Structure 1
Amino acid sequence: MAVSSKRRVLPGFRLSLGFAWFYLGLIVLIPLSGLFLRTFTLTWAQFWETVTAPRALAAYQLTFGASFAAAAVNVVFGLLVAWVLVRYRFPGRDLVEALVDLPFALPTAVAGLTLTTLFSANGWYGQYLEALGLKVAYTSVGVAVALTFIGLPFVVRTVQPVLEDIDADVEEAAATLGATPWQTFTRVLFPSILPALLSGFTLAFARALGEYGSVVFISGNMPLRTEIVPLLIITKLEQYDYAGATAIAVVMLVASFVLLLAVNLLHRWTHRRLEARPGH
C-alpha cells in the first residue's frame, strides 16, 4: 500500500514552525515594522530630503565603503589565520585561538580607546606611521582599521571548521598527480572553502555596518568626513529629530537587507555548483 503523505523527520513540524515565526515576528518583524511606521510622519519630500542630504550621503559612503574594505581584508587574513590554526601545531597555538576570539568578548568602547591610543600621533604605531606620511587616527582609514578588528573572528570561525573537514590526503593526491601548490589551492581547496568565505564575508560586513563603539573614538566624528551612519542617527536622536533618525535607519535597513540577500543568494549558488562537481 503506497504512502500518500511524506513523513517528517522532525516531530511537530508545523507547531515548531509556528513558534519560529512567532518568535521572529515578536523579536524582529514587529520592531522593524515600528521603524517603518515612524517614517510615515514624514512626507515623501521630507523623507527624500533627509536621506539624501550631503551629510547623510557622506555617512553612507564611509560606512558601506569602510565595511566592505574591512570585510575584504578579513577574508584574506582570516583565511590565513584559520589555515595556520588548522594545519599546524606550534607553541602558543592556544594563545592565538584566544586572541582570535578577543574582539567577541572585548567591549567595543575599550577596543575603540585602545585603537585610538595606538594609532594617534604619539601612539605606538601612529608616531611611526605619521613619520611616513600615513595618518590613521581620525581618518576614514582609522574607521576601516576598527571595523577590521571587530570583524576578523567572524571569518576565522566560519572558515576554520570547513578546513578541518578537508582531508590532508586530498592535497597529497593532487601533488602526486603533478599539481603545483598554487594549482592545488585554486582548483582543489579554494572551491571547497569558497562558500564558507562568502559566509564569513557576509557576517563581517553585516557586523561592521552596525558598529558604533569601536569606531566613534578613532574616527574623530567629523561631519562629511569621518562620520558614520550609526553616529549620525544618534546625533539626530539627541536633537529630538526622531523622524529623521528613523528615515536614515530605514535606508540602512533596506540597503543592508538587499546586500546581504544578494550575498546569501551568491553563497547558495556557489554551494550548489560545488555539490554538482564530480566527486561531491
Structure 2
Amino acid sequence: MFDLNESNKVGVLMSVMGQENVTYCESAIASVLEQDFQGEVVLYLVVDGMPSGGIKDLFDKLAGRPDVVVLYSDGSRLGLAARLNQLIDLALMDREIAYLARMDSDDFSLPSRFERQVQYLLANPTVDVVGTGVIEVDANDRELSYKVMDESDELLKKHIVRKCPFNHPTVMFRRRVFDDGARYDCSLMNTQDYYLWVELCAKEYVFANLPDLLLRFRIGNNFYKKRGWRKALNDFRAKLFAMRRLKKTGLVNCFYAFSILLLRLSPRWLQVFAYRYLRKGVERV
C-alpha cells in the first residue's frame, strides 16, 4: 500500500513528433491515462515540429482534461532533449508531483507500470531512477523479443560504458533529481539519455531496474535506418565521454567502444542480426 503521508503523484513527460502516427500516439496516451494506479497521474504533452491535422485534433481534444497538460509550441523543431526539459520545468511547478516518468509517443505502458515503479521507489528510498524491462514489438504490434536490463546499481554502473543502463521510455525519476538541476543536454540530437545517465552516475545518484516487462517498445520499419553512421559516431563519442567522466578508460572498455563502432558501420543485415541476437539481456520471443 502507498504511504498516505507522502505524495504519490506522477508527472509523465511525452514529446510528440509533429508527424507521429496518430493511432500509435493515441494508444500511448491512453496507456498512460488508464493505468491501474492508486495515485494521481498528470500527462505533460508537447509537439516537436509542425503538427499534422490528426495530432492537432488529438491535442485539442485532450487539452480540457484535468489530468493532461498541453504545452503548445510554435511548430519549430527543437529536438527531444529541449522538449523534455521544457516539460520537466513545467511539471516541477506542481509541488505535489513526487515522481517524473518518461513515455514515448509510439510505445505502450502496461497497466501496472506506474503502480510497480512507485511501490518500488517507496520501498527503496535511496533509489533515484528506476526503469523496467520491455517487450519489443514491430510496426504491427507483433512481439519480437524481450529486453531485461541489469537490476542493481552496482551492475548498472559497472557496465555503463559498454551499454546503456536503462530502456529510456520506461524510467521513473524522483523529482529531487531534477530539483537538483539535472537536465538533458539540448546540444544533442540523440544519445541524450545516455549522457544524462553518465552525469547522474558521476554525481552518485542510485539506479535500479525492475525485471518486469512493463512497456511495449515499438521498433518501426525505420528503426535501423535511424542507427546509421551519424548515430554510430555519436554513440562512440558518448562512450569516450563516459570513460573520461567516470574514469573508466580501461583496455576492455576502449576495445568494446571501437568494436561497437565498427559493427555499427557494418552492413545493415549484420546490424539487425547483432541487435536482435547478440545483445546481453535480450530474449527472443
Fold shared, TM-score > 0.5 on shorter chain: no
Higher relative contact order (CA 8 A, sep 6+): 1
Which structure has the highest helix share of the two?
Answer: 1
Which structure has the highest strand share of the two?
Answer: 2
Q: What TM-score range do you get, normalising by the shorter chain?
A: under 0.3
* Larger radius of gyration between Structure 1 and Structure 2: 1
Using structure 2 for the length normalisation, give the TM-score: 0.23
